[in-house]
Amino acid sequence: MLDAQSESPSAQEALEKLCRTYWWPLYGFVRRQGYSPEEAQDLTQGFFAMLLERRDFDAVRQEKGRLRSYLLASLKNFLAKAHRRATTIKRGEGRPLVPLDELLARERADLEPTDALSADRIYERRWALTLLEQVLARLGEEYRVAGSTRLFEELKQLLAGDPDRPSQAQIARELGIAENAVKQAFHRLRQRYRLLLREEIAQTVVAPDDVENELRHFIAVLQA
């Protein structure tokens, strides 16, 4: 529930996590405005530097608790009003939250049909994909600690809507276990996935009632 709104050290940590969550979606929006990768990195870094310094999330309540909407509106205002020489942080000054080489690697691997997407839609899609990545990373770590990394890698394929994904019977043969065991394991993974997704989304809203709305929006964005 937006722990980043308080002044405690844990709040600062929560705020920095949120910045990392939204960096890639917001950077994509800036890139769609016609800026080069380097310029977009500077602008995105400058925006988050301002955000971290101000630490004012009261306006999120005016967006019905959706940090997703608040940050995009704030970025648009930042881009419209900021004078680049006065407001952006040059490369090498400060600590970028996401290295430029990482951003470029993600862009090269990005299979989104960006020519057909508006800047707002790119932002929304990358927001959803970033949340998905974080949930899968948390799941993967839990299975790694439990010594079940291979099981996770196999079951993870079933979460996707890819028509070429293996069947549960195929996974059972691959792992050398009963198909019913795969079915039960996937049921547990899916339950845990849903719980972690709710937890991630809950960190970006103020009111508990907003979680359901964000979940529905998350699903709609991925299905679009």
pLDDT in single tens digits along all 224 residues of the chain: 444 455 556 656 766 677 778 888 999 899 888 888 888 888 888 888 787 777 655 555 455 457 888 889 889 988 887 655 445 554 444 445 555 555 555 555 554 555 567 889 889 988 988 888 889 999 999 999 999 999 999 999 888 766 788 999 999 999 999 999 999 999 999 999 999 999 988 887 777 778 888 888 888 888 77
Please tell me the distance from the alpha carbon of residue 205 to that of residue 68, in angstroms, as a whole number: 9
Q: Residue 191, SS3?
A: helix
Please tell me the distance from the alpha carbon of residue 193 to that of residue 205, in angstroms, as a whole number: 19
Q: Which two tokens stand for residue 95?
A: 């600590």
Q: Residue 74, SS3?
A: helix
pLDDT of residue 143: 96
| DSSP secondary structure, 196-212, as one string | HHHHHHHTT-SSTHHHH
pLDDT of residue 92: 45
Domain boundaries, the chain: 3-223
pLDDT of residue 2: 47
Please tell me the distance from the alpha carbon of residue 60 to that of residue 41, in angstroms, as a whole number: 24
pLDDT of residue 101: 55
pTM of model > 0.85: no
pLDDT of residue 11: 59
Residues 6+ apart with CB under 8 A from 152: 139, 140, 143, 144, 189
CA dihedral 122, 123, 128, 132 (to 10 degrees): 90
Q: Which two tokens stand for residue 161?
A: 């809507």
Cβ(78)–Cβ(47) under 8 Å?
A: yes
Long-range contacts of 213-220 (CB under 8 A, 24+ apart): 213/64, 213/66, 214/66, 214/68, 217/68, 218/128, 218/131
